[in-house]
Amino acid sequence: MNMRRLAELPLFQGLDENALREIGAAVSEESVETGRVLVREGDYSQDLTIIDEGTARVERDGQELAQLGPGDMFGEAGLLQKGMRNATVVATTDVRMIHLTNFDLNRLRGAHPELLERIQQIEADRAAR
């Protein structure tokens, strides 16, 4: 993972070089084509996905809830609580994504608690809406 690109993503902005290097080694990247279902409502969730390039649509019960673009993420609730997906996300363009699994977050949380704190804050903000 390109450390400069990782540092530009909102979740990772301001983290030190050591944190970025360790996070970069932990995350995985994936590219998918337009129209692909990225996650499906009701599926088990244990990873966080960040859109690096492209756009996606979030929907629940067939109703559009949001549009996502570079820097946006989804799956924080499942990452933290190991729950079920509460929405479906579909690529509306070709998408390059970054995944952080629960396993990887647990490995990083001791050395970089600020990452966990950021994800927890995002989850709390979204739950309050």
The secondary structure of 20-64 as a DSSP string is: HHHHHHH-EEEEE-TT-EEE-TTSB--EEEEEEES-EEEEETTEE
Specify the pLDDT at position 46.
Answer: 85
User: Which residue shows structure tokens 């983290």?
Assistant: 15
What structural domains does the chain harbor? Answer: 3-127 (2.60.120.10)
Can you list the residues of the chain whose pLDDT is less than 50? none
pTM of the predicted model, to two decimals?
A: 0.91
pLDDT of residue 19: 93
Q: Is the dihedral of CA 81, 84, 90, 96 positive or negative?
A: positive
